[in-house]
Amino acid sequence: MRKGKSTITLANVTKRFGDFEAVSDVTLAVEPGQVVGFVGPNGAGKTTTISMMMGFLKPSKGTVTVLGTNIEPQTSHSVHGSIGYVAGDMVLPGALSGRQFLAFSAARNGRIDERFNSLVDKLQPVLHKPLKQLSRGNKQKIALIAALQHAPTVLILDEPTSGLDPLMQDVFLDTVKDESKRGTTVFMSSHILSEVSSVCDRIVFMRAGKFILDKPVRELTSQLGKHIVIKGHDVGKLAKFLPDSAKLLYKNANEIRLSIPSANIKTFMRWIVTKEFDDILIEDRDLDDVFHELYGGKTK
């Protein structure tokens, strides 16, 4: 792929299953070396989108390009050796041991021994037992090693930390950071927004088959501001008199929840100290707040 070309491109991609439109006219360009988080609730269309990137499904409309190759089921094998892939609904051959499966993967895509040994040392998988006897977490470790051992140019990961304990999640996220420094392009779906914000340059939010927000993480987090909870008898009446910069998120008679830009916090504090209340909580907002607002849930 020539320098300056996008590593992954979706151009007006739609995928229908009968009358159901799982993905609807989405367009995306992922640049070389970017780490992109892919976020949305179950059923949003994330796995279908990733399956089209891998060439497992053919778009009903539009084109998918990875590393300069137009991806369809009959052509996708030509680039698979440059891709590291982990499926969200991972199925591994149960009769093989972890070591046998990794050798099988290496026979197809190659292996860098030093890299393989480092991954085994970091993730500490069980290699000698048949895969059917392993826990979900140990199977995930082996799938991750298979995806990474050949030093791919692109990583496409669907819920990659599923089943891992918190310590191994941190080890994996450090590995993604190392891959980013190496110049690997990473496209990663996850339900854990804290891990997305810690490793990704950019986040794409999907809902009902459409991309509804696509922004750099730094831009998103700089705009989040503060989350404020005010409690006390009859404080709900204050909702009518909030400063202009405050956004009401929730209220009842004895509690108000709102968000406010960080730049306006001093103005808010001058306003609130003139009011009667029992307790107040002020904290930095995070991507969970963005998720709840985008998908209609209640914040915190």
Output the domain CATH number for residue 277. 3.30.70.250
Q: Do 108 and 240 share a structural domain?
A: no
CA-based radius of gyration for the chain: 23
Give the global pTM: 0.81
Asked if residue 81 belongs to a domain, the reply is: yes
Which residues touch 151 (CB under 8 Å, ≥6 apart)?
112, 115, 182
Q: Do 187 and 128 share a structural domain?
A: yes
Q: Do 178 and 103 share a structural domain?
A: yes
Q: Do 193 and 44 share a structural domain?
A: yes
Q: d(Cα 113, Cα 247) in Å, to the nearest integer?
A: 54
pLDDT at residue 300, rounded to an integer: 45
Q: Do 155 and 54 share a structural domain?
A: yes
Q: d(Cα 102, Cα 104) in Å, to the nearest integer?
A: 5
Q: Do 130 and 32 share a structural domain?
A: yes
* Residue 85, beta-bridge partner list: 156
Q: Do 229 and 158 share a structural domain?
A: no
What does the chain come to in residues?
300
Q: Do 196 and 238 share a structural domain?
A: no
In which residue are the tokens 């993905």 written? 23
Asked if residue 300 belongs to a domain, the reply is: no
Q: Do 204 and 106 share a structural domain?
A: yes
Q: Do 203 and 113 share a structural domain?
A: yes
Q: Do 180 and 124 share a structural domain?
A: yes
Domain end marker among 199, 220, 241: 220
Asked if residue 26 belongs to a domain, the reply is: yes
pLDDT at residue 2, rounded to an integer: 40
pLDDT at residue 297, rounded to an integer: 57
Which residues touch 185 (CB under 8 Å, ≥6 apart)?
7, 8, 30, 31, 32, 33, 34, 35, 153, 154, 155
* Distances in whole angstroms, Cα of residue 12 to Cα of each of 5, 64, 90, 278: 18, 9, 28, 53
3-class DSSP state of 76? coil
Contact 288, 193 (CB under 8 A): yes
- Which DSSP state fits 130? B
In which residue are the tokens 């990663």 written? 188
pLDDT at residue 89, rounded to an integer: 75
Asked if residue 277 belongs to a domain, the reply is: yes
- Which DSSP state fits 132? G
Q: d(Cα 74, Cα 17) in Å, to the nearest integer?
A: 19
pLDDT at residue 298, rounded to an integer: 47
Q: Do 46 and 16 share a structural domain?
A: yes
Asked if residue 297 belongs to a domain, the reply is: no
Domain end marker among 195, 220, 245: 220
Its domain, for residue 273, covers 225-284
Asked if residue 38 belongs to a domain, the reply is: yes
Asked if residue 294 belongs to a domain, the reply is: no
What's the domain count of the chain? Answer: 2
In which residue are the tokens 């369809």 written? 72
Number of Cα atoms under 13 Å in the Cβ half of residue 63 = 7
First CA to last CA across the chain, in angstroms?
44
Ranges of the chain whose pLDDT falls below 50? 1-3, 298-300
